[in-house]
């Protein structure tokens, strides 16, 4: 079954597909093992920043490792955040990245044009959709400002949430999906990314909340599976409510990266064990999706 069908089935069933970011290649094996052992389905993901600011190496290196440890019953390979304007406010030549990912066999890709004005975001996303759909590959896009990756400090979170500054607009979401043909839409509803700067990446993440009324409006207007980035640090009750309100994919990065980094100086094996334990806990306790492979993949 292709990934478009799997995520849509999750969306219709009121469950979720987790995506696990791999900033260090040895993290991939324990994530796959945890999904297999819990009979769960998830995405193995790499974002551009994870080969520019961490140690995932490259798209090809991730694909090679996935060929070694991946499990088609429990995983697919996803290209996460490729920005048009990156976290350092630099323009990115994004088209060659997508051409490489498609040639390597990634089954879904994500363009992040969220730092662009709406019409430019639509134009860039449509370009990637045309490339990817020609290869039978699903496209995730982003609308709204999900902060956290920038080098500077965040505005006070409560001010950010109360103002709704940068939140995804439901009417714009409808226009965006209609004019781009994107398969999934990443939304901003109070969620934030984990810090990636060297000075802050080890700190505890801010506890975010979610505007669930806004999320329900977006679901009604957009009509496609929705994605929650910055899944680490959001209270379980909010996450579960968001899944019921239309979130079909949730990204997890900080919650498995920090345990790996905390133990990587001891040994790779100890760091991998920490990732396995964290992934298993997320699947079983936070998302409550253990055993979802049967629901999502079996006819």
80 is catalytic: yes
Residues 101, 139: contact at Cβ < 8 Å?
A: no
**Residue 86: strand pairing partners:** none
Our CA angle for 69, 32, 275, nearest 5°, is 115
| The CA-based dihedral angle spanning residues 110, 115, 118, 120, taken in that order and rounded to the nearest 10 degrees | -80
Token pair, residue 32, equals 């796959």
214: burial class by Cβ within 10 Å (0-12, 13-18, 19+)?
A: buried
Residues 30, 299: contact at Cβ < 8 Å?
A: no
CA distance 136 to 129: 10
The CA–CA distances, whole Å, from 96 to 20, 107, 123, 124, 130 equal 24, 16, 17, 13, 14
Interaxial angle between packed helices 268-281 and 254-263, expressed in degrees from 0 to 180 and rounded to the nearest 10: 150
Token pair, residue 170, equals 């439901």
Catalytic residue among 29, 80, 112, 183: 80
3-class DSSP state of 208: coil
Query: Residue 45, CB half-sphere, CA atoms under 13 Å: how many?
Result: 26
Our CA angle for 114, 77, 279, nearest 5°, is 90
Residues labelled catalytic:
80
């Amino acid at each position: 079954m292709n990934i478009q069908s799997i995520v849509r089935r999750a969306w219709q069933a009121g469950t979720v597909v987790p995506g696990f970011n791999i900033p260090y290649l040895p993290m991939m094996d324990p994530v796959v093992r945890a999904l297999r052992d819990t009979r769960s389905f998830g995405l193995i993901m790499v974002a551009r920043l994870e080969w520019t600011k961490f140690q995932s190496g490259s798209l090809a290196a991730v694909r090679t490792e996935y060929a070694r440890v991946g499990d088609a019953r429990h995983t697919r390979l996803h290209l996460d955040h490729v920005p048009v304007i990156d976290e350092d406010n630099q323009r990115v030549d994004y088209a060659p990245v997508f051409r490489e990912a498609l040639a390597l066999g990634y089954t879904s890709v994500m363009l992040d044009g969220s730092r662009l004005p709406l019409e430019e975001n639509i134009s860039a996303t449509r370009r990637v959709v045309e490339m990817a759909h020609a290869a039978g590959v699903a496209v995730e896009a982003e609308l709204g400002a999900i902060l956290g990756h920038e080098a500077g400090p965040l505005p006070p979170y409560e001010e950010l949430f109360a103002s709704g500054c940068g939140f995804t607009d439901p009417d714009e979401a409808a226009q965006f999906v209609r004019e781009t043909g994107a398969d999934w839409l990443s939304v901003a509803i109070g969620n934030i990314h984990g810090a990636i700067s060297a000075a802050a990446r080890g700190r505890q993440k801010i506890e975010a909340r979610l505007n669930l009324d806004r999320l329900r409006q977006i679901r009604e207007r957009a009509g496609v599976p929705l994605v929650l980035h910055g899944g680490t640090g959001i209270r379980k009750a909010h996450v579960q409510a968001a899944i019921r309100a239309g979130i079909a994919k949730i990204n997890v990065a900080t919650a498995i990266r920090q345990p790996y980094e905390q133990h990587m100086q001891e040994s790779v094996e100890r760091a991998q064990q920490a990732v396995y334990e964290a992934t298993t806990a997320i699947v079983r306790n936070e998302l409550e999706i253990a055993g979802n492979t049967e629901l999502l993949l079996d006819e």
